[in-house]
């Protein structure tokens, strides 16, 4: 497979069927089954479930509560600012949330809350790059490509798993 040849597969999950896609440089996309983050394969993409065995295994581990971080080659397309925000998302601990304002502070631009929110909303690798861990300043769930029900489900999964590990 060449660097630019996009391959994809569908992965069944507790939140619905996820589209994953990537090329020779790494994983480029995790798409939701519905909501504004719903995606379908483009006409020139090639279906290849075997190429994503590691992605499938790590997502399965995440949904079972046994994986808290992902160890995958990632290759998201984005501006330098977007990539800076997406990198900061990966530093939010499993089971925790932060506000958009806090995320803006973490990327060194505390006044750029709206720009950080926009970059967060453009994250092409949700779940793997945990944009669901960002909430409104008052702690409310706001904005998520897979819909607020999916965001709530992901956060509840992480909180249940975290509480379970404290009890075990």
Query: Mind telling me the catalytic residues?
Result: 131
Q: Taken in order 58, 94, 130, 157, is the CA torsion positive or negative? A: positive
Structure tokens at 167: 């009890």
**Maximum separation of any 2 CA atoms in the chain, in Å:** 49
- The CA-atom distances, in angstroms, between 59 and each of 18, 33, 104, 139, 145 are 10, 15, 28, 26, 18
31/116 Cα distance (integer angstroms): 20
Strand order in the sheet with 46-47: 26-31, 18-23, 7-11, 46-47
Name all contacts of 148-155 with Cβ < 8 Å and 24+ positions apart. 150/15, 150/16, 150/32, 150/35, 153/14, 153/15, 154/15, 154/127, 155/97
């Amino acid at each position: 497979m060449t660097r630019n040849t996009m391959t994809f597969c569908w992965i069944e999950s507790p939140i619905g069927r996820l589209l994953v896609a990537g090329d020779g440089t790494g994983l480029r996309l995790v798409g939701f089954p519905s909501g504004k983050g719903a995606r379908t394969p483009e006409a020139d993409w090639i279906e290849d479930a075997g190429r994503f065995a590691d992605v499938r295994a790590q997502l399965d581990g995440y949904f079972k509560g046994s994986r808290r971080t992902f160890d995958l080659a990632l290759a998201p397309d984005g501006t330098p600012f977007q990539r800076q925000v997406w990198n900061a998302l990966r530093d939010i601990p499993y089971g925790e949330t932060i506000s958009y304002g806090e995320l803006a502070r973490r990327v060194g631009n505390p006044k750029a809350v709206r720009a950080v929110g926009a970059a967060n909303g453009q994250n092409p690798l949700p779940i793997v790059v945990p944009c669901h861990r960002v909430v409104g300043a008052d702690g409310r769930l706001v904005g998520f490509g897979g819909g607020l029900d999916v965001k709530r489900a992901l956060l509840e999964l992480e909180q249940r798993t975290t509480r379970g590990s404290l009890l075990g």
